Amino acid sequence: MALRGFCTGLKTTLRRGRAFRGPVTSAFSGTEFALLQGHNPQPLLRPCCARQLDLTGPVSFAAHAQALAETSASDPAPSVYRIEVVTGDVRGAGTQAPAIVTLYGESGGSSDYVVGNEQDENGFERGSSKKYELSVEKDLGVLKRIHVEQCEPSVTDTGSGWFLDKIEVTGPDGQAVVFPCHSWIGKNDAGDISGPVSNQRNLIPCERLDLPAIQFQDLEQPLKVQASAIAVPHPEKVHGGIGKAVNKKKTGWGGEDAYFCTTGPHGILGMGIADGVYQWREKGIDAGEFSRLLMHTALEAVEEGQPDVLKVMQAAASRVTAAGTQGSSTCCIVLIDTLHGRLASANVGDSGFMILGVTNNNPKPHVKFRTPQQEHQFGCPYQLGHHQAADPPEDAMLTALPLIAGDVIVMGSDGLFDNVADETILSEVQAQITAGKRASIIAQRLCAVAFNNSVDKDALTPYCVAATEAFDMVYSGGKKDDITVLVAHIQYATKDDFAGPVRQWFGATKKRYIRSKQYVHFAAQLARWFGKALVGVPSPFGAPPPSLLLLPQPASAPAPHLPSEC
């Protein structure tokens, strides 16, 4: 219960969840106050103007109510706002802690309302949608924002992280406004620190068009990617002779995990991870064949010049289906456009990636983005497969993000993210970057940390914390699994990085392509970036018209594969 205003003369104890109907003396005439019931988000009595009343005597509650009604007869009727709080359907999304919601509009702000503290069940469950009615003192007009603050957990911090998907508010006029969040409030039990560690968040309606959106612009200097990957199988698979690891330049696998990393035309670098479901082996099916063919086909699609990340995944899934390969697998594919500094991803399941780096608002290295796990329930991720219950590629979570030099992308199967918390990954990567280590060393180091935690029965891992919450039991230690790690370090490219690929490209084409729109476009880009022609690279006759810089590169001639180190 909350009491707004300064009142004295209370003759009873205020208890949580109880409506106070006893005598009270207001110390100041004209002070606004309201009594709030603990298990109800609505005020018990709407704010009113109290007179100097001595209510400590044997006066009936009806008399109190009549006196209050007389003093507030001129007050406007309260406005009812209906809100729907939607919790995300990702691992660790639920919480047992209630939250405080405050609405802000053109006419000011509302009172603080506690939601998620029902008598029968506290907090917000994973994938749940809870509705409340808020009786606000006045019409707030056009809503501008919602302030959400998570209350402190009453017993334990386990399960306190909350993945809030959105809040939908229906005002007195019947108009609904959506306030998206789709991120963590507080720290996730699965080790995710992509959201603010603070337990407060301001949500802005999605209809607000005056807010700056993510801007994708041509870079003043192109990027290059230093990338490397490693896969190791479950230790028991090695002893059984069924999980030997293979790590090559462009692809590799270990157990049912598989990965690829390759370059395509037009400055595109593609990489992906697939984690086959081991349980298919009980039916005589090797899901490793499914994941390996999935990644091999995705690699071919990238090298053939497919620039759409979802189409890469669709092509890979179609090829596996056409081949009649059985099994199922998670799948995460990322395409990096080094000429424009863009990342596009498609993710199905609990494999994923995170971006580490700095921003203008936060110059300290931090987690800039992290894909959440896609699960139907704990331990049952979304997956591509041959069976009817499999998820289609169209259900993939699609993401587009800007990249800058200095960013580090860490991709991994659940063998990495279930055994190593995000803050540990961040500290390990930062230590290796500071020491001048390459992407290959960083990937090996993260893989070693994940493996050591997976076989440690006493380690505090994201998986054991999430399992404790999901199964309502104490779980400790890591999770033995196949582990795949792929690290990509984004750096500035120099003209020397481009000279070799461009010379090779020109030598493989006929001389007439020197005046093609494709070559003119690319040569103009090089001149803009580096100020002069590259040594040994022919220049087109005459300066290209400015309009050519905006034309897409035609497919009449093969495009150069720009620098990367997969």
Residue whose C-alpha is closest to residue 157's, from 538, 460, 383, 445: 460
Say what the pLDDT of residue 182 is.
79
Give span(s): CATH 2.60.60.20, the chain: 79-203
CA distance 44 to 38: 10
H helices of 119-258, in order, are: 235-240
What lies within 8 Å, CB to CB, of 524 at 6+ separation is 544, 548, 549
The backbone region for 531, taken as left when phi is positive above 0, alpha when psi lies in -120 to 50, beta otherwise, is: left
CA distance 436 to 439: 10
Lowest-confidence pick of 109-118, 160-169, 181-190, 489-498:
181-190
- What is the pLDDT confidence band of residue 235, given thresholds at 50, 70 and 90? confident
The whole-number average pLDDT for the span 43-58 is 38
CA distance 349 to 273: 11
482 with 423: CB under 8 angstroms? no
Q: Is the pLDDT of residue 528 over 70?
A: no
DSSP H or E run through 3: strand 2-3
- What is the pLDDT confidence band of residue 21, given thresholds at 50, 70 and 90? very low
| Burial profile 382-418: b = 16 or more Cβ within 10 angstroms, e = fewer | bbbbeeeebbebeebbebebbbebebbbbbbbbbbbb
Q: Is the pLDDT of residue 7 over 60?
A: no
- What is the pLDDT confidence band of residue 189, given thresholds at 50, 70 and 90? low
Please give the mean pLDDT across all residues of the chain: 76
Give span(s): CATH 3.60.40.10, the chain: 223-492
Most confident of 11-15, 107-111, 242-246: 107-111
Kindly report, residue by residue over 383-407, the tens digit of the pLDDT: 999 988 899 999 999 888 889 999 9
- What is the pLDDT confidence band of residue 209, given thresholds at 50, 70 and 90? very low
Lookup: tokens for 353: 């990636």
Task: Tell me the residue type at 270.
Answer: G
Task: Kindly state which CATH superfamily the domain 79-203 is placed in.
Answer: PLAT/LH2 domain (2.60.60.20)
- What is the pLDDT confidence band of residue 536, given thresholds at 50, 70 and 90? very low
Say what the pLDDT of residue 274 is.
96
Q: Is the pLDDT of residue 323 over 70?
A: yes
What lies within 8 Å, CB to CB, of 1 at 6+ separation is 14, 15, 16, 17, 18, 20, 35, 36, 37, 38
Q: Is the pLDDT of residue 35 over 50?
A: no
- What is the pLDDT confidence band of residue 100, given thresholds at 50, 70 and 90? very high
Say what the pLDDT of residue 348 is.
95
539 with 503: CB under 8 angstroms? no
Alpha-carbon distance values, 208 to 8, 177, 178 (Å): 45, 10, 10
Higher pLDDT, 566 or 27: 566
Kindly report, residue by residue over 434-472, the tens digit of the pLDDT: 999 999 999 999 999 999 999 999 998 998 888 887 777
Say what the pLDDT of residue 23 is.
40
Say what the pLDDT of residue 72 is.
52
Task: Tell me the residue type at 446.
Answer: L
- What is the pLDDT confidence band of residue 18, given thresholds at 50, 70 and 90? very low
Kindly report, residue by residue over 162-178, the tens digit of the pLDDT: 888 899 999 998 888 99
H helices of 16-128, in order, are: 61-71
Q: For domain 223-492, say whether CATH 3.60.40.10 is its number.
A: yes
Distance between first and last Cα of the chain: 60
Angle between helices 309-322 and 287-303 (to 10 degrees): 130
Say what the pLDDT of residue 106 is.
87
Say what the pLDDT of residue 273 is.
97
- What is the pLDDT confidence band of residue 501, given thresholds at 50, 70 and 90? low
Residue with tokens 């896969």: 231
CA distance 260 to 566: 9
What lies within 8 Å, CB to CB, of 489 at 6+ separation is 225, 226, 227, 407, 408, 433, 438, 439, 442
Kindly report, residue by residue over 254-298, the tens digit of the pLDDT: 999 999 999 987 778 999 999 999 889 888 999 999 999 999 999
Pair type for strands 7-8 and 32-33: unpaired
Q: Is the pLDDT of residue 33 over 50?
A: no
Say what the pLDDT of residue 47 is.
36
Most confident of 9-23, 107-121, 332-346: 332-346
The whole-number average pLDDT for the span 115-144 is 86
Higher pLDDT, 96 or 214: 96
Paired with 101 in beta bridges are: 113, 148
- What is the pLDDT confidence band of residue 544, given thresholds at 50, 70 and 90? very low
- What is the pLDDT confidence band of residue 180, given thresholds at 50, 70 and 90? confident
